[in-house]
Chain A
Amino acid sequence: VNPELYAAVARYNDSHPELTLGVSVVGNGQYVVTVSGSLDIETSTQVKPLLDDIVKHIPVAGHLTLDLEHVGYISSTGVGLLTTLLSQTRKELIGFSLTRVQNPVIKVMELLGFSSFIDLEALDA
């Protein structure tokens, strides 16, 4: 991970314990972001600039995977954040996927129609 990005993530995590991120690069432009906490109206708004920054570091034809194993609650603002990310990555020709999504979160995403935009990999799949 780019040192500046790594430092930005560390700073964010220190000041926002309600929702923390872990970033790793597993291959050529393949970014995996581990999300821990709840994606509510407050945390979603706070974390958005950092996620935007992460997307900017991913090269064209790269891929962003959000690991949501440790996200137990999501609000419509949280789903809106993911929709924005999906839209942004598509524009930049970057792949985007969600992995290990908890069932309560999947239910909310399905109700909000987000699952029609992207395949969701459930935690217990």
Chain B
Amino acid sequence: MPERQAPPHEFLKVALDVMKVLANDESRKADSVAMATIAGHFNATTAVISKRVRRRDLPDQGISVSGDSMAAGMSVGAVCTGYLVLNRPGSTWSAEEGGILLGFAELLAPVIASREGKRRKLSAQKKRLASLLLQERRLVDLTNGSPEMIYTTGVDDSITSINDAGVHLLGYDTPQELIGRQFSGLALNHEDRDYLLQRLELKHKVANYEIILLKKDGSPVFCLESTSEMKNETGRFIGLQGIVKNITDRIESERALWESNMDLASLNQKLRMTQEKMVQQEKLASIGLLAAGIAHEINNPLGFLKSNFETTRLILQDFQQFLESPHSSGTTVLDVNGTGAAFLEAFSDLDEIFRESEDGFNRIIRIVRDLKSFSQTHQVDVIDDIDLNHEVESAIMIAWNEIKYVAVVHTAPGIIPGIKGHKGELGQVILNMLINAAHAISSQKRPEKGTIEIQTLHTDAFVRLIILDDGPGIPKDVQSRIFDPFFTTKEPGEGTGLGLSISYDIIVNKYGGHLEVASEPGSGTQFTIDLPIHPVSRPGF
């Protein structure tokens, strides 16, 4: 085969064609290594115009060149980055050809390198894009497969995305119904969302924040939310992303537990109150028994004192009659001794002394009788006939020592029917009311006495007792609590706070009546007790 050497410009032309093909071959997915082989009539041995090309870097297949290069009887095997490898089977390159090729290689190297760089960059970008697409698809699958609500919002806290679980949780049909809406508009309290945003500003993420959201139909959903800020690559805040868990079932369980605890606490409270009341009533009963004993002990000497007093008065009356009776001489003993005037004056004084003493005796006898009546322990199955007016008088008598220095008592007993009940209990209620009224007036430390007005009247099926004082009244904020056990406005040791509670228990629970208070701070207090004339039978009554 005759050796024919192509003129240098043909090398250049062929090489430029190679580069043109490579530059325009966008579809070529070559590796980072390529090689051009010029074969044919050159009959050339391989000339490597590079010190660094490695055989393993060369691709298995070359590329074809068409056009002028084909006409020149040459073909291109492969091209590698920055290097050109030419083959001439059967002969070696001349020095001139070698020089041309070296210059040619230097010319081509940056072009090929640039082209290959672009290709590599594009390839890397495509890989990254594919990886990102894969990640995004995974994220979308993960988000939509999550049983918890997952959402994102923009900088204005309007919803930018929400998963299927969120749409379902809030009772909507499609995400589009929620996208664009302010998140705070979904909360029961928009203030709660504002508070979350404030915390996010400080901490950038908030975990387990409880918030109540509203479903499309307005029903509430108790939620636990974990939220964090989203930022772009420059660190700028671009919105929030959050996961919301529905904890309504858990809250319902907790609520049921609270109710059980409250029921238990109420039972405990009642038990303890009952115990305290029993202790107090036991004390009162003991005092009552003591008072009854004292009254009995007083009653005996009082009996013979009264009797002796009557006898003494009768003897003195006889003696006075004897002294004043004229003798046979027509004169009296008083006339004879000339002491008549002095004796008559002494007898006049004695009359006054006897009247006062009798009044005193009668009062002592009444007090002892009332005390006995009041302090008697009633038997459950024994019901007394009660005259309320009489019980009021008895209570005034017993409480008189507490009242007389601070108040004047005006009574207006009405014409009322008798009622059934236990005298001791009812007397205790009236006594409580009177002593409270006296203490209230006393607390004002005013120079003049106050007034306690007591009235009884008949109203339909009830007998009504009104006790009105002109004391300081009861502050509005405590009026609803005065019948609570242990509630007192008195100083420690001055009151147990049980008086009105026990009174309420007796009137309302035992008698089926009413006990009401009306008070105007600064003007006084009125207690109104309504007692049924025909009480409904109750346990312990």
Contacts and interface: CB of A to CB of B under 8 A. Distances in A.
A16 interface: no
Contact of A111 (B192, B209, B220, B497): B220
Contact of B262 (A40, A41, A83): A83
Contact of B264 (A40, A87, A117): A87
Interface string B262-282: 101110110011001000000
A77 B210 contact: yes
A104 B189 contact: yes
B195 A72 contact: yes
Given A73-B195, A95-B487, A111 B265 contact: no
A87 B267 CA distance: 10
Interface in B461-486: 481, 484-486
Nearest to A73: B195
A83 B189 contact: no
Contact of B265 (A41, A77, A86): A86
A60 B492 CA distance: 11
A13 interface: no
Interface string B212-241: 100000001010000000000000000000
Interface string A79-100: 0100110111011010100000
Contacts of A123: none
B210 A40 contact: yes
B259 A113 contact: yes
A108 B189 contact: yes
Interface in B409-462: none
B210 A61 contact: no
Which of B222, B259, B265 counts the most A-chain CB atoms under 10 A from its CB? B265
Contacts of A93: 269, 272-273, 276, 485-486
B200 to A, nearest CB: 14
A20 interface: no
Contacts of A114: 258
B188 A111 contact: yes
Given A61-B486, A95-B481, A76 B222 contact: yes
A56 interface: no
Contact of A87 (B210, B251, B262, B485): B262
Contacts of A108: 188-189, 212
A73 B192 contact: yes
Given A83-B262, A95-B481, A90 B210 contact: no
B487 A117 contact: no
Contacts of B251: 76, 112
B486 A76 contact: no
A80 B188 contact: no
A77 B195 CA distance: 17
B352 to A, nearest CB: 51
Contacts of B492: 28
Contacts of B210: 40-41, 75-77
A88 B269 CA distance: 10
Contacts of B276: 93
Q: Which 7 A-B pairs have the closest CB atoms?
A: A61-B486, A87-B265, A104-B189, A75-B210, A90-B265, A90-B269, A83-B258
Given A84-B261, A111-B212, 11 more contacts: A28-B492, A60-B486, A61-B497, A72-B195, A87-B264, A87-B265, A91-B265, A93-B273, A93-B276, A93-B485, A104-B191
20 contacts: A28-B492, A73-B195, A76-B210, A76-B254, A77-B210, A80-B254, A83-B262, A86-B262, A86-B265, A87-B261, A88-B265, A90-B266, A91-B269, A93-B273, A95-B481, A104-B191, A111-B188, A112-B255, A113-B259, A117-B262
